Amino acid sequence: MKLVGENIKKFRLERNLSQEALANLSGIDWSTISRLERGVVNTSISVLFALAEALKISPSLLLV
Protein backbone atom coordinates (compact mmCIF):
# COMPACT_ATOMS: atom_id res chain seq x y z
CA MET A 1 0.00 0.00 0.00
CA LYS A 2 3.01 2.30 0.09
CA LEU A 3 2.55 3.03 -3.63
CA VAL A 4 -1.02 4.15 -3.00
CA GLY A 5 0.18 6.51 -0.27
CA GLU A 6 2.89 7.94 -2.51
CA ASN A 7 0.29 8.55 -5.22
CA ILE A 8 -2.12 10.23 -2.82
CA LYS A 9 0.65 12.57 -1.70
CA LYS A 10 1.79 13.25 -5.28
CA PHE A 11 -1.68 14.23 -6.49
CA ARG A 12 -2.39 16.20 -3.31
CA LEU A 13 0.79 18.25 -3.68
CA GLU A 14 0.19 18.79 -7.42
CA ARG A 15 -3.08 20.45 -6.40
CA ASN A 16 -1.41 22.48 -3.64
CA LEU A 17 -3.61 20.88 -0.99
CA SER A 18 -2.64 20.30 2.61
CA GLN A 19 -3.66 17.06 4.29
CA GLU A 20 -6.28 19.07 6.18
CA ALA A 21 -7.70 20.54 2.96
CA LEU A 22 -7.88 17.09 1.35
CA ALA A 23 -9.56 15.81 4.51
CA ASN A 24 -12.21 18.52 4.25
CA LEU A 25 -12.82 17.80 0.56
CA SER A 26 -12.96 14.02 0.95
CA GLY A 27 -14.54 13.57 4.37
CA ILE A 28 -11.58 11.40 5.40
CA ASP A 29 -9.82 12.33 8.64
CA TRP A 30 -6.47 14.07 8.08
CA SER A 31 -4.71 11.59 10.38
CA THR A 32 -5.89 8.74 8.16
CA ILE A 33 -4.54 10.58 5.11
CA SER A 34 -1.24 11.06 6.90
CA ARG A 35 -0.99 7.37 7.77
CA LEU A 36 -1.91 6.38 4.21
CA GLU A 37 0.74 8.65 2.72
CA ARG A 38 3.36 7.14 5.03
CA GLY A 39 2.27 3.60 4.15
CA VAL A 40 1.45 2.81 7.76
CA VAL A 41 -2.12 1.57 7.15
CA ASN A 42 -4.06 -0.12 4.40
CA THR A 43 -7.22 1.44 3.05
CA SER A 44 -10.65 0.47 1.79
CA ILE A 45 -12.15 0.95 -1.63
CA SER A 46 -14.57 3.55 -0.26
CA VAL A 47 -11.69 5.66 1.11
CA LEU A 48 -9.84 5.39 -2.23
CA PHE A 49 -12.94 6.53 -4.10
CA ALA A 50 -13.52 9.46 -1.71
CA LEU A 51 -9.90 10.62 -2.06
CA ALA A 52 -9.95 10.20 -5.84
CA GLU A 53 -13.16 12.20 -6.11
CA ALA A 54 -11.71 14.98 -3.94
CA LEU A 55 -8.54 14.99 -6.08
CA LYS A 56 -10.64 14.91 -9.28
CA ILE A 57 -8.90 11.82 -10.63
CA SER A 58 -9.83 8.26 -11.49
CA PRO A 59 -9.41 5.92 -8.51
CA SER A 60 -7.26 3.68 -10.70
CA LEU A 61 -4.58 6.39 -10.81
CA LEU A 62 -3.99 5.87 -7.10
CA LEU A 63 -3.17 2.21 -7.72
CA VAL A 64 -0.52 2.51 -10.45
pLDDT of residue 39: 94
Vertex 22, ends 18 and 32: CA angle to 5°? 95
pLDDT of residue 30: 97
Q: What is the CATH number of domain 2-62?
A: 1.10.260.40
pTM for the predicted model, two decimal places:
0.93
How do the domains of the chain map onto residue ranges?
Answer: 2-62
* C-alpha span between 1 and 60 (Å, rounded): 13
Q: Along the 64 residues of the chain, how does pLDDT read in single tens digits?
A: 789 999 999 999 999 999 999 999 999 999 999 999 999 999 999 999 999 999 999 999 999 9
From 57, 58, 56, 51, select the one nearest 37 (Cα to Cα). 51
